[in-house]
Amino acid sequence: MAHHNRSGAFRTVCPQELIDLILGKTDKETLKSCALVARSFRPTSQTLIFSDLTILPPGRDSIPALQHLADVLSASPHLALHVRTLNLVQLGLHKPCVWMQSDILSAILSVFTNLESLHIRIYNWDSLHLNCEQAIYALIGRSSLSSIEFEEVRLERNATLVSLLRCLPASLESASFSNVFADHWSYGDDLERASPELHKLRLASLHLDSYAPTLFHWAIRAVDLECLRHLHTTVEEDTMDVVQQLLDSAFYVETYHLSFRDVFCACFRRFS
């Protein structure tokens, strides 16, 4: 598109829709450069750069990197509003990450007010700094959240798992618990005490591949099973009865995925 300026010369202007389309096909490293090219490139580049954020990616697990992120978000608060997906990832299974033991993270997490999807992979949960743990609880409770995934999470106490479940917001549409461990399984008392505080969740998708029986009993109590359309669960000897309750109550499930641990795996579909 050509525009006539005051000097009488013509300059070519690329439509913003085309710029956005090109940027949408661009990798994040290139987008960082694009954000500095021109004002017309900056908003879309920043949106794409910050829409999916990982704390902290491989090779960046350090206090300076964490502090740099905090400084960037403090200097430009609008960037935090672009974050829709957040990944809190412990890179190794046995060595806590730097960010897990720093109180810097709590200030960072508090600014993600538009978060929609949260992925948590923290093997050494008890190594979390207290402020960091409380900030994660607050993040889990965000009313903007529609999807949450816990992966490779080991908890020393079942009460901690119940506390996490208590935080889950009613806005959730999808929840996944993959290889979640709780070392002490006194689920009856803990869950019974927490029941009045659990939100009733109208999940469309639920994934329960866990070593914590509490999760299965939580699903019976807190999930509106008639809303479920996709159910993925693992069957073990001590969860067979509660899984059967799930199946009996999930009338409108369209896709089942049942895994029988140490025996065989079976996948089948039922379309209503």
Average pLDDT over every residue of 30-54: 88
Same domain? 102 vs 195: yes
Same domain? 40 vs 96: no
Domain span including residue 17: 1-50
Rounded to 5°, angle at Cα 103 from 118 and 88: 20
pLDDT reported for residue 195: 61
Question: Using one digit for the tens of pLDDT, what is the confidence trace for 137-177?
Answer: 999 999 999 999 999 998 888 888 888 999 999 999 999 99
Same domain? 117 vs 204: yes
Same domain? 38 vs 68: no
Whether residue 269 is predicted with pLDDT greater than 60 in this model: the reply is: no
Same domain? 39 vs 152: no
pLDDT reported for residue 188: 53
pLDDT reported for residue 109: 94
Question: Using one digit for the tens of pLDDT, what is the confidence trace for 69-128?
Answer: 999 999 999 999 999 999 999 877 777 888 888 889 999 999 999 999 999 999 989 889
pLDDT reported for residue 34: 84
Same domain? 162 vs 251: yes
Same domain? 103 vs 20: no
Domain count, the chain: 2
Domain CATH code at residue 84:
3.80.10
- Strand ranges across the sheet with 147-155: 52-55, 85-89, 117-121, 147-155, 174-182, 205-209, 230-235, 255-260, 264-269
Distance CA 223, CA 200 (A): 6
Same domain? 100 vs 228: yes
Question: Using one digit for the tens of pLDDT, what is the confidence trace for 168-200?
Answer: 999 999 999 999 988 655 545 555 665 666 788
Same domain? 28 vs 75: no
CA neighbor of 255 nearest in space, from 226, 220, 229, 233: 229
Burial of residue 178 (CB within 10 Å: 0-12, 13-18, 19+) is middle
Question: Using one digit for the tens of pLDDT, what is the confidence trace for 196-255?
Answer: 667 889 999 999 987 778 888 889 989 999 999 999 998 887 778 888 888 899 999 999
